[in-house]
Structure 1
Amino acid sequence: MERFVEILPELYQAFLETILMVGIAIILAVLIGLPLGILLFLTRNQLLLPNGPFNAILGFIVNVIRSFPFIILMVAIMPFATTITGQSHGPYAASVALTLAAIPLFARLIETSLKEVDKGVIEACVATGASLKQIIFDVLIPESMSGIFQAITLSIISIVAYSATAGVIGGGGIGDLAIRYGYYRYDNTIMIVTVVILIILVQLIQITGDYISKTTNKQ
């Protein structure tokens, strides 16, 4: 108990760094990944904006980024992250890699969610002469809202896991604390506490995401 009290300030700081990294990554992932996922769906759908070559190229790029193990991706783009943030380590530098990993994941989840929209509804919209903009904002997004929130939930949980991995190379956050104290210094108290915090955080994210998804489900 005494040891727990001693590490509370560092735990608090590490928790804030984790929230900062996850927050930056998920906001940028949604802002970039949502239109990217919609574009992947539109260019695959024969009724909307069919473009096989473009879809294949875009899908290939997305798959290539997703194929990188996060720790390798983080090391590979470290010079790029340093250029953008002016830091070679820490939560802001780690946020660059987290964002890059989250965008293709979120885009694919959005594409999958849009595929669940009733094809008959899309066909009816096309038949009545609805514009592509109307179909996207009045049909596709509203009809797949539940799936979109599930995608956000899954992406946040994945980013939390990635952020813990970022601690291996000094990315900051709870993972960094667990590595520096729990692993290198054989501090079991730190290791147990950080694991418990991550479990509680993920559970809260999942419960909240499920609730929002359920309330927006039109089925």
Structure 2
Amino acid sequence: MEANVPVQDPFSLVIQQLRKINADLTSLIQKYVQAQGFANLDIPRESASMDVVNWTEMTAEQRLLANLTAFLELERRLERVIEEQKELLHPQEHILHGDLHNMLGQVAALREQLEQIGEIFGLSRGNSSDTDGMEVVGGSVFDKKVRGYKVLKELSVWSIRSVRDILKIQREREKYVRESMKEAETLMERVETHIGRE
């Protein structure tokens, strides 16, 4: 029975997960803003910005490593946000806290899927593990509220950028596989022709 279940390639799974994260973040950010009493906050989102020329010139490995590093960092920062919000949120905001936990689970699952793609390209998990100390902790209650908002916003930006990254990596990978298969077929034809002449 299980043999008839279609197996999705890891690239499609990641793209699907990214789109779900982005869709869920839309309502989560709105809930967060309402719970914290923010009318609107305009926080810089430089982390996922990329000069078009530089972005185009990135190799698949560089592109993938950038995504792995970003989501690993954001996963850790979201963990800290959840710990801080546990103390700040009113007990009636248990739904929001549950949604934050759910988002953390989605980001962790996405990071694992990205690591699986990384293994295809020979990227070790250690290459993207050193992100400690990249986020300031502590601060006032307002600082903690803003920090949570900023993490959610950066997640939203990366979930959009990463779809473009993974689609590009997927196309490059498929092109490489097609060319490799074509080269193998050409080589086999030459071998068979040589054998036939003997």
Higher alpha-carbon Rg: 2
Q: So what's the TM-score if we normalise by structure 2? A: 0.32
Structure with higher RCO (Cα < 8 A, 6+ apart): 2
